[in-house]
Amino acid sequence: DNVDRVIGNMNVSYDLFDWLKASYKIGMDQYTDRRVQAWDINSSSEPEGRVDQTTLFQESLNSDFLLLLNKDFGAIGIDATLGHNYYSSSRFARVDEGYIMAEQGFYSINNTTEVLSSENYLSRTKFFGAYADTRFNFKELVFLSLSARNDWSSTLPIQNNSFFYPAASIGLEVSELFGFSNFEPVPYVKLRASWGQVGSGGSSFRTDNYFDKAIIDGDGLLSSNEFPAFGVTAFEREQLLANKELEPELTTTIEVGGDFQFAGGRVDLDFTYYNAFTNNQIVQTDISGATGFSSITLNSGELENKGIEIQLGAKLLQTSKVNWKMNVNFTRNRSLIKSLPENVESIRLAEFTAISSMILEGQPYGVFSGTRYRRDDQGNLIIGSDGWPLIDASQGIIGDPNPDWLLGVGNSIDLYGVSLSFLWDIRSGGDVWNGTKAVMDYLGVSKESGDLRDVTGYIYDGVTVTGEPNTTPVDFANPAFGLSGIKWRRAGTLLGVAEDNIEDASWIRLREVTLGYSLPSDWFKQVRGVSDISLSVYGRNLLLITEYKGVDPETNLRGPSNAQGWDYFNLPGTRSYGVSLKAVLK
């Protein structure tokens, strides 16, 4: 894997008057990712050898033209922005597959005799925006902000590609307004409230039907073939049905909160309560095969997110030689699906045969629905006559990937030119599906199946079909009963009963540690144009404390998508180290 990345930006401004300025900003981010995956000669799945070469290219361009006004009219100050935004993104992917290697151990696609271009993907999106933001203040005591924006998105059908969203906020400097800013225990209080909307056009290729390379499915004996094959190029219609009526999603948020200082300004507190409603959320869901397609992108109804955010900062120690600051961030969010589109009972975000991430009315966003055990009205397991829990014939809710709360604790210590900072991240609650463990249990190669295979006479806590307490013992791996007598094979499927593999995703993580040193100015005073030089070393993702049985509950099979909490042979999180040298020029 080899990545080349270039990031650049430019900013030009001109003062039209002492109170009015014009500004233009443009930035570009471009990267190319080249990947090689190889199976050497005599590999079990590719005995003649194979080399796949993947090239990923992405380029994004963002520009803003701004008119900036700043002027006082007596006791009233006005700070206004009028702007235009343009954003474009291009993504290209190509996968070349090389078969039959000529030389063993040489992993180049040029070392293969048959090369197929199995995938070419190109995506372009463009967004135009016009916006205005005006901020008023009265004697720096009362603040009022009014803003509005209109966007045009290439990802939406023409008749719906324009969407408008306004916002407003107000703030009061209570401590100054009521004259207690010199009261040392609480010298500063500011209260604020806001209402605002944000629109989004979603991703591309949702409003038209497209064609992709054709595939001939195998029958279990003959393998499948992807075109081009047999000297023929063929395409087939994608399974995603176009939606030419797709509308932009719109989120309306109400916030109230305050900024406070205590102990003469040594302690800062920022508190926010928010309630956000998203209408017409853009999601992809399954549809009946009778349509000739398997899925469609649609607007999904109404989603509510509400919660609190608390930021606490404290100067624990402050002298002429030593400074110690601590920052704490606490977040608690609750999501709820308020409604779904007419005639839609559920929306499937992602699925395997045994488990799905779902949007269900009356439930948190993205709950797990999967195979489960039968239970009575009191939640007791129902046990069969053989002593094993009975599997429910229908799938149901078995977990929620959303955390109860998140906490970040950061410390920064400066001592005689040496600085030390470290950040702890804490997550409480939320579930993760450990699909890796499910497969390893089924194959008999997991730690649990090894530790528990000799368990005999185990009695499950539950009730019989008639409601009596269960008293029938079972052995976890008794060969006399065949596969039906093995705890991890009884379900008859590779993924087992999904309920068995829902685990708590709580963790404590040392997210980052940085140790730095600012060189004494005498060391470089002869170097012209340099005012400061500092050297630092850092490490990220250094420690993980969790009861989760998988690799890392923060990783997700589905990536940064709407379906969270999936672990199915995921790659572990990356631990990184680095050195930084910083010079400040005069």
Intervals of the chain under pLDDT 50: none
Is residue 297 within 8 A of residue 266, CB to CB? The reply is no
Are residues 308 and 268 part of one domain? yes
- Are 268 and 338 in a shared domain? yes
Query: Which pLDDT belongs to residue 287?
Result: 81
User: Of 221, 241, 261, which residue sits at a domain end?
Assistant: 241
| pLDDT score of 122 | 87
Query: Which pair of tokens denotes residue 464?
Result: 């019989």
Contacts of 179 (CB under 8 A, 6+ apart): none
- What local confidence, expressed as pLDDT, does residue 370 receive? 97
Cα-trace Rg, the chain: 30
Contact residues for 474 (Cβ-Cβ < 8 A; gap 6+): 386, 387, 388, 457, 458, 459, 460, 485, 487
How confident is the model over 67-87, as pLDDT tens digits?
A: 999 999 999 999 999 999 999
Q: What angle do CA 213, 228, 218 make, to 5 degrees?
A: 75
Sign of the alpha-carbon torsion through 568, 570, 572, 573: negative
Whether 221 and 354 map to the same domain: the answer is no
Whether residues 438 and 381 share a domain: the answer is yes
pLDDT value at position 219?
53
SS3 of 477-539: the string is ECHHHHHHHECCCCCCCCCCCHHHHEEECCEEEEEEEEEEEECCHHHCCCCCCEEEEEEEEEE
Q: Which residues contact 468 (CB under 8 A, 6 or more apart)?
A: none
**CB-based contact 424:509 (threshold 8 Å):** yes
Q: pTM for the whole thing?
A: 0.84
| Domain housing 310 | 2-205+245-585
Q: Are residues 457 and 560 in the same domain?
A: yes
- Confidence at residue 223, expressed as pLDDT on a 0 to 100 scale: 58
DSSP H helical ranges for 183-341: none
User: Is 224 in the same domain as 79?
Assistant: no
Same domain flag for 164 and 235: no
Q: What angle do CA 124, 126, 131 make, to 5 degrees?
A: 165
Whether 533 and 517 have beta carbons less than 8 Å apart is answered as: no
Domain total for the chain?
Answer: 2
Last residue of a domain, one of 220, 241, 262: 241
> Number of H helices and number of E strands within the chain?
3, 33
Same domain, 458 and 388: yes
- Cβ within 8 Å of residue 51, ≥6 positions away: 36, 37, 38, 39, 97, 98, 101, 107, 108, 109, 111, 112
Distance, CA of 226 to chain centre: 32
Structure confidence at residue 221 (pLDDT): 52
Category of 559 on φ-ψ map: left (φ > 0), alpha (ψ -120 to 50) or beta: left
Same domain? For 155 and 225 the reply is no
**pLDDT value for 280:** 92
Last residue of one domain, picked from the residues 193, 223, 241: 241
Rounded Cα gap, residues 379 and 385, in angstroms: 19
Whether residue 295 sits in one domain with residue 229: no
Looking at residue 21, its pLDDT comes to 97
Same domain, 15 and 150: yes
234 and 302 together in one domain: no
- Give yes or no for a contact between 135 and 170, defined as CB atoms under 8 angstroms apart: no
CATH number (domain holding residue 542): 2.40.170
DSSP 139: T
101, 112 contact by CB (below 8 A): yes
574 DSSP β-pair partners: none
Cα 420 to Cα 322, 412, 520: the distances in Å are 11, 6, 17
Short-list 558, 395, 569, 568, CA closest to 491: 395
Can you read off the two tokens belonging to residue 87?
């954003």
